[in-house]
Amino acid sequence: MKAKEFFMLLLNAPIERIAVENPVQSTIYGIPKYTQSIQPYHFGHPFQKKTCLWLKNLPLLTPTEIIEKPQSTKVA
Protein backbone atom coordinates (compact mmCIF):
# COMPACT_ATOMS: atom_id res chain seq x y z
CA MET A 1 0.00 0.00 0.00
CA LYS A 2 3.02 2.29 0.51
CA ALA A 3 3.95 1.78 -3.15
CA LYS A 4 0.40 2.74 -4.23
CA GLU A 5 0.55 5.86 -2.07
CA PHE A 6 3.88 6.87 -3.66
CA PHE A 7 2.53 6.14 -7.16
CA MET A 8 -0.54 8.31 -6.55
CA LEU A 9 1.62 11.17 -5.21
CA LEU A 10 3.58 11.11 -8.46
CA LEU A 11 0.50 10.84 -10.62
CA ASN A 12 -1.30 13.70 -8.85
CA ALA A 13 1.70 16.00 -8.42
CA PRO A 14 1.05 19.66 -9.30
CA ILE A 15 3.22 19.46 -12.42
CA GLU A 16 2.09 20.45 -15.93
CA ARG A 17 3.33 17.31 -17.71
CA ILE A 18 3.71 13.89 -16.15
CA ALA A 19 4.64 10.46 -17.49
CA VAL A 20 4.58 7.53 -15.07
CA GLU A 21 5.64 4.08 -16.25
CA ASN A 22 4.71 0.89 -14.44
CA PRO A 23 4.27 -2.75 -15.38
CA VAL A 24 0.76 -4.15 -15.61
CA GLN A 25 -0.72 -3.79 -12.16
CA SER A 26 -3.17 -5.86 -10.21
CA THR A 27 -6.65 -4.36 -10.08
CA ILE A 28 -6.96 -5.12 -6.35
CA TYR A 29 -4.83 -2.07 -5.50
CA GLY A 30 -7.25 0.40 -7.09
CA ILE A 31 -4.73 2.25 -9.25
CA PRO A 32 -6.44 4.31 -11.99
CA LYS A 33 -6.53 2.85 -15.49
CA TYR A 34 -3.45 3.66 -17.52
CA THR A 35 -3.52 6.08 -20.46
CA GLN A 36 -1.62 3.80 -22.84
CA SER A 37 0.05 0.40 -22.90
CA ILE A 38 3.09 -0.26 -25.06
CA GLN A 39 5.23 -3.23 -26.05
CA PRO A 40 8.94 -3.27 -26.98
CA TYR A 41 8.01 -4.90 -30.32
CA HIS A 42 6.14 -1.68 -31.23
CA PHE A 43 9.52 0.05 -31.31
CA GLY A 44 11.77 -2.43 -33.11
CA HIS A 45 12.80 -4.65 -30.19
CA PRO A 46 12.02 -8.38 -30.64
CA PHE A 47 10.50 -8.88 -27.20
CA GLN A 48 7.16 -8.56 -25.46
CA LYS A 49 6.65 -7.02 -22.04
CA LYS A 50 3.52 -4.94 -21.65
CA THR A 51 4.27 -1.63 -19.98
CA CYS A 52 1.64 0.86 -18.88
CA LEU A 53 1.91 4.63 -19.11
CA TRP A 54 -0.07 7.23 -17.22
CA LEU A 55 0.25 10.48 -19.17
CA LYS A 56 -0.78 14.00 -18.15
CA ASN A 57 -0.72 16.66 -20.91
CA LEU A 58 1.54 14.51 -23.09
CA PRO A 59 0.77 12.83 -26.43
CA LEU A 60 0.48 9.07 -26.76
CA LEU A 61 3.57 7.30 -28.04
CA THR A 62 3.35 6.27 -31.67
CA PRO A 63 4.83 2.89 -32.70
CA THR A 64 7.88 3.35 -34.91
CA GLU A 65 8.78 -0.18 -36.05
CA ILE A 66 6.39 -3.03 -35.24
CA ILE A 67 8.00 -6.48 -35.27
CA GLU A 68 5.57 -9.28 -36.19
CA LYS A 69 6.67 -12.24 -34.05
CA PRO A 70 8.16 -11.06 -30.75
CA GLN A 71 9.83 -13.39 -28.29
CA SER A 72 8.72 -13.64 -24.68
CA THR A 73 10.96 -11.97 -22.09
CA LYS A 74 10.37 -14.82 -19.62
CA VAL A 75 13.53 -16.53 -18.45
CA ALA A 76 13.51 -20.32 -18.43
Domain ranges within the chain, ordered by starting residue: 2-25+32-72
Q: What is the pTM of this model?
A: 0.78
Q: What is the band of 69 on the pLDDT scale with cuts at 50, 70, 90? A: low
Q: What pLDDT shows up at residue 64? A: 93
Q: What pLDDT shows up at residue 73? A: 58
Distance between CA atoms of residues 56 and 6, nearest Å: 17
Q: Give 53's Cβ-side CA count (13 Å radius).
A: 15
**pLDDT single digits (tens) 21-43:** 988 776 667 889 999 999 999 99
What sign does the CA torsion over 3, 9, 12, 18 have?
A: negative
Amino acid at 12: N
* CB-count burial class (<10 Å; 0-12, 13-18, 19+) for 28: exposed
